[in-house]
Amino acid sequence: MASLVFIITFLLMALQLKSIPAENITEDDEMIMDDLRKTEMCPDTIKVRWDEFLAREPHVIKQVSGNETSYDGLFPLNLVFMISSCCSSTVIKYVDAYQADIVLPVILNYKESGLSSQSKVVPILPNTGVAFVVKRADRKHLPIKILSSIFSSWPVLVLTLLLSVLAGIVAWILDTRQNTEEFPLSFVQGSWEGFWWAFVSMTTVGYGDRCPKTISGRLFAIVWILTGICMCSIFTAMLTTSLTTISLDTMIPLPQAKVAALFGSIEATTGFQRQAQVRRVHSIKEIQEEILEGKAIGGLMDSFTLDHYRDYFPANEFKVQEVISQEYLEYGALIENSSLVSLVKCLKNLRFSEESEMYEYAELYMGKSMKSGLEESMTPGDQTIGVDPEGLLFYPALFTCLGILTFFLISGATWEMCRRTRMRQNERGGWFVA
């Protein structure tokens, strides 16, 4: 009987609450309700445990002072910002035990996990792309490569010279009887003059010191000049292709390439996705050693890590060949405490609505813009072949020309001194005899 009375009383109270109009709810009532909702999603303390395997610098920097342990880095920075924005009164406590409310970092996959529908994962650190770092080309062997590239076009050059000789003989045969002054009757002299005319005409220089006078000779000259233009174009194209190959020989395709990356990182996963042969290591120093020892052709790092370990990869020895866009993978946190569902929603909304601010925090923490750091690494100094002062060819060609010119000047001055000395001796000798 008592239970029946209780149920009837509860129903009457519910009907009365339902009949109260919405406009009767004051601002104080809304603040009280907001406080109640915030109290539900914000605990007094949140226990955070770092995954020692993935918590690497600069993402997580562990600082031990006596018996006290504190954490600095990009993850703690973003975590404190996000939790304090959702729950300003909540205290973050770092623990080593497995009974933690939040565990991080973990790798999240937007595409596979359907992140928006997941209630136990939160993205924390915006991804900046994966940098493919390789060793710069060795400039010492560049002149040899260029000479080898030029000499590799010898078949076209030899064929061009042979055709010039044949064209010179034909021109001599057609013109020698009516133009003995320019094409002598002698086979040796006439064919030599014909070769000179054919070569000069082929290169479109056209000195005019030799030219056919007969109709047949001039008709042949038209055919030969057109043929010569084609031959010169082929030779120029082959030479250009060879020089371009030298400038692009450091562009390493990532598929099937041996690359080094940290264990369990987004960079290693990206390498596997790009079908590279990933050599997994435990530290950035090992990545540098793998590249220098030739065990890996390059390394995969995000821009935060690359900027933090800039001393390991100086711009004069290493470069960023490519920045790989990573749209789905991101470092985040795993929520172990199921009672923090409301907090998870707040953290997700904050992460995506304040993404630009998080990038700014990261840039301020790292000391400079990630973009500018990558641009410095990607300076195309060893990609250019032309006369750019920063190119590979400019200084070798400049110093080579200066060296040859100096040699000729010294040799010429020595020759002139010797010649004048002999002239003086001859004059003195002749005057004495006279």
Residues whose CB falls within 8 Å of the CB of residue 298, separated by 6 or more in sequence, listed in order = 132, 133, 134, 135, 252, 257, 259, 260, 291, 321
Tokens coding 275: 């079908």
Residue 402 has pLDDT above 70, yes or no: yes
- What is the rounded CA–CA span in Å between residue 27 and residue 33? 10
- Per residue in 72-108, pLDDT (tens digit) is 888 888 888 888 888 888 888 888 877 888 888 888 8
- What is the rounded CA–CA span in Å between residue 18 and residue 135? 73
HSE, CB side, 13 Å, CA atoms: give it for residue 273.
14
C-alpha closest to that of 384 among 241, 247, 251: 247
Residue 133 has pLDDT above 70, yes or no: yes
Residue 383 has pLDDT above 70, yes or no: no
Residue 259: DSSP 8-state:
E
**Residue 10 vs residue 291, higher pLDDT:** 291
One-letter amino acid for residue 88 of the chain: S
Mean pLDDT of 171-197: 87
Lowest mean per-residue pLDDT among 22-26, 165-169, 274-278: 22-26
Residue 160 has pLDDT above 80, yes or no: yes
Residue 290 pLDDT grade (very low, low, confident, very high; cuts 50, 70, 90): very high
Percent of the chain whose predicted confidence (pLDDT) is above 70: 76
- Per residue in 246-255, pLDDT (tens digit) is 665 557 788 8
Mean pLDDT of 32-55: 70
């009949």: which residue's tokens?
Answer: 19
The pLDDT value given to residue 26: 47
The pLDDT value given to residue 299: 93
Q: What is the separation, in whole angstroms, between the first and last Cα of the chain?
A: 161
C-alpha closest to that of 78 among 126, 25, 139, 117: 126
- Per residue in 293-319, pLDDT (tens digit) is 989 989 999 888 888 888 899 888 888
Residue 21 pLDDT grade (very low, low, confident, very high; cuts 50, 70, 90): very low
The pLDDT value given to residue 287: 93
Tokens coding 311: 């001393």
- What is the rounded CA–CA span in Å between residue 401 and residue 314? 31
